[in-house]
Amino acid sequence: MSEWLGLTGKRVLVAGAGGLGGACATAFADAGASVIAADIQARELPGVRTVAADMSTSDGCRELVDSAATKLGGLDVLVHSVGQNIRKPVLETSDEEWQSILNLNLSTVFWLGKAAGKLMCAQGYGRQVHLSSVAGLLAHPAHGPYAASKGGLNQIVRVMAREWASSGVTVNAVAPGYTETPLTEEHLAKPGVRDELTGLVPAGKLGSVSDVVGPILFLASDQASFVTGHVLYVDGGRTLV
């Protein structure tokens, strides 16, 4: 698999090392890439160098990208897997909650993507994959700031893809449907929630972390060199109904 993907020796930064991000970092390492995974606190991941990083500011994001590129000897792939959700109706969502989610889910895409894009455009090669959600397309109740952040993510991905395509840099997003991750664990444990959400998925089941990792690796690989500005829905058909 690693030979087909062409990831051997690629220099990869994964921003967000829990759940999907951690699984991606490990999968890249298994495919022969050199990987740094960053989170607010360093995590133990097999075959992966992990670092603690504060990505809540533009300076912190730039410093992370520059530091990772220095340690790796360059940067070929950026995976953005940073995010949070607060499930409240719009009328119950505070200004502080709105700003916090937009900052972490969307501003970090701009800050990290821009910093990595500068390096990638200069070297004439790069792959960026940003984690979106079906919430960026569907109007889920109690998802106001989260949905807005993912809709915005989809559009900034398209713009970065358009601007950097001629420099050999692709920028795509993967939008999971209802997936069992640490971010959704507490919500899925509430009475009736799992059955309700499963009933909305034509595939008849919730997604797993491994269901999402494969598409991310593909979009970061040489096999996807002519795919850019795309939002890939990995949702068991949820967006079809």
Catalytic residues: 146
- Cβ neighbours of 153 (radius 10 Å): 26
Number of domains in the chain: 1
In percent, how much of the chain has pLDDT > 70? Answer: 99
Instruction: Say if 239 falls within a structural domain.
Output: no
Structural domain boundaries enclosing 114: 2-234
Instruction: Say if 240 falls within a structural domain.
Output: no
Using an 8 Å Cβ cutoff, are 224 and 6 in contact? Answer: no
Looking at 43-57, 61-75, 100-114, 177-191, which range is the least confident one? 177-191
Chain mean pLDDT for the chain: 95
Residue 1 has pLDDT above 70, yes or no: no
Instruction: Say if 218 falls within a structural domain.
Output: yes
Instruction: Say if 20 falls within a structural domain.
Output: yes
Tell me which H or E stretch contains 117.
Answer: helix 108-123
Q: What is the CATH number of the domain that holds 33?
A: 3.40.50.720
pLDDT in tens, 172-218: 999 999 888 776 788 888 999 999 899 989 999 999 999 999 999 99
Say if pTM beats, i.e. exceeds, 0.85: yes
Interacting residues of 159 by C-beta distance below 8 A, sequence separation 6+: none
The dihedral of CA 83, 197, 152, 175: what is its sign?
A: positive
Q: What is the DSSP string of 189-218?
A: TSTTHHHHHHTT-TTSS-B-HHHHHHHHHH
pLDDT in tens, 83-113: 999 999 999 999 999 999 999 999 999 999 9
pLDDT in tens, 224-241: 999 999 999 999 999 998
Angle at 217 between CA 211 and CA 223, to 5 degrees: 120
Using an 8 Å Cβ cutoff, are 200 and 241 in contact? Answer: yes
